[in-house]
Amino acid sequence: MKKKLASPKATARKTAKLITGPSRPKSREEWLVGATVVTQDDRRRVLAGNVRIVDGRIAEITTKSAPRTTRTGSVKVTELAGLTLLPGFVQAHVHLCQTLFRNQADDLELLDWLAKRIWVMEAAHTKETLFTSAKMGIHELLSTGTTSILDMGTVRHTGAILEAAKKFGIRGSFGKCLMDHPDTTPASLREPTRDALEEAEALFKKWNGSEDDRLRISYAPRFVISCTEKLLREVISAARKNKTLIHTHASENLKEIQMVKDLVHCENVEYLDSLGMTGKNLVLAHCIWLKPNEKEILRRSGTHVVHCPSSNLKLASGFAHVSDLRSRGVNVALGADGAPCNNNLNMFTEMRLAALMHKPANGPKTLPAREVLDMATRDGAKALSWFDEIGSIEKGKKADLIALDLNQPDNALPHAGFGAKKSLKLDPDAIASSIVYSSGPRHLRHTWVDGNLLFTGGKVRGIPSEQLVEEIRQAQATIYRRIPKNG
């Protein structure tokens, strides 16, 4: 049988393919049109305009006309008329491993909360329950406008948290919790120093920069009490070598501070500074009880602080001196902390509380809405060392965005400033006030990460709420069965 010869056209196509190589995938392009765009750029511009996204990045922000149909060729067009578009919230202190423990560790102060509830339940986690806990938290975060997090895991199975983040699309830096002190940690969570560090290094090698740099790895010693000096010094060395963040707690509770003094004979921040840990790659959660010299150390070193208003109130830990720290030039971001000490992961709640709780002691002008909005976006991105990519709507940055409907009876934007002679359609102060003081998850319409629409129509992509509830119940039952009867 004679072999059929290829046609000249087919031969030409084959030759061209050999010369040029495999064809490149088409660019993914989308226009978001007709929105009020709260850029959060250096000038805090608010524009009536359109945003073009190409391959997950912001390619253009324009006030000129843009496509108005749902599709123009291969370009998707999303109509946002009447909505306010802003950068996704960045939470700089979260514990996804604890989401399953919500409503099970209430009305306790920090050290009892840890010893009697949290450490007992964390020790009972399996890979499967930890995945569910992370999935549960990510569902809540995406459906309340948070697109990026700095997460502290538990001691074991940290890879399960990263698998959940990979699958469901949130951006974050994740750290295995490090606890090795022989006298101050429970045996159920304590690890040999070398084992803890080796696992942290293995996580870094496997995950850091994965998913087009959507997932990063940080080092997460729990706090001074739980860590030997050897461990902390090794963490400092590893973080410098790998050029990554260190994420820990400091000066949250007076009893904790006394324990630190008994162990190392100085204050938290003083001790961390003496080891060489302070600096732009260190993120400290809470920092409520600081001495003046510690505040100066934070300013001098460029160390970041995370304010967690709900957690600080619920655990009766105290009132962080946020306004004082910020006036000194310390970058202060926001975080919900964990679900058992909050009891939610909702950034709208944290913004409102942060704006309100410091006014009685410091005056009504303390932490105005626009400053708090900065804490929830720009300053969170700075704390995560990610401000070159997220935290504002600017050309070249990642398309991590949220869209709010601020034209509702319970939160209608004012269209004229107080005493104005003419309509002020885009009053930046009024918009910030609406977001910080009056908004909630009920106003959220869309959430994008890397230009991917992860929340819309009241649903998180890939996480059906009904199935998640049943999965949560099963995971909690597994944890209860694994807790020792005297635990």
- Condensed to tens digits (0 to 9), the pLDDT of residues 224-266 reads 999 999 999 999 999 999 999 999 999 999 999 999 999 999 9
pLDDT reported for residue 422: 52
pLDDT reported for residue 17: 47
pLDDT reported for residue 23: 54
pLDDT tens-digit profile of 189-205?
A: 999 999 999 999 999 99
| Long-range pairs, 103-107, Cβ under 8 A, ≥24 | 103/340, 103/343, 104/340, 105/340, 105/341, 106/314, 106/340, 106/343
pLDDT reported for residue 104: 87
What is the C-alpha separation between 228 and 182, in angstroms, rounded? 8
**Average confidence (pLDDT) over 351-377:** 97
Cβ atoms < 10 Å from Cβ of 270? 17
pLDDT reported for residue 419: 55
pLDDT reported for residue 228: 97
Q: Which of 107-111, 145-149, 287-291, 456-460 has the lowest mean pLDDT?
A: 107-111
Give me the percent of the chain exceeding a pLDDT of 70. 91
Which pair of structure tokens corresponds to residue 43? Answer: 């000038």
pLDDT reported for residue 1: 43
Location of structure tokens 């105005």: 368
pLDDT beyond 90 at 326:
yes
User: For residue 439, what are the contacts with CB-CB under 8 A and spacing of at least 6?
Assistant: 348, 404, 406, 411
Find residue 388's DSSP bridge partners: none
pLDDT reported for residue 71: 64
pLDDT reported for residue 416: 56
Q: DSSP state, 441?
A: G
Q: Residue 420 — pLDDT band, cuts 50, 70, 90? A: low
Instruction: Compute the mean pLDDT over every residue in the chain, rounded to the nearest whole number.
Output: 92
Q: DSSP state, 224?
A: G
Q: Residue 62 — pLDDT band, cuts 50, 70, 90? A: very high
Q: Residue 412 — pLDDT band, cuts 50, 70, 90? A: confident
CATH class in words for 89-383: alpha beta
Task: Name the CATH superfamily housing domain 29-87+393-456.
Answer: Urease, subunit C, domain 1 (2.30.40.10)
The larger pLDDT score, comparing residue 420 to residue 48, is at 48
Question: pTM value?
Answer: 0.92
pLDDT beyond 80 at 446:
yes
Cβ atoms < 10 Å from Cβ of 468? 15
pLDDT reported for residue 447: 98
pLDDT reported for residue 479: 95
Could you give the residue range(s) of every CATH 2.30.40.10 domain in the chain? 29-87+393-456
**Average confidence (pLDDT) over 153-167:** 97
Could you give the residue range(s) of every CATH 3.20.20.140 domain in the chain? 89-383
pLDDT reported for residue 299: 98
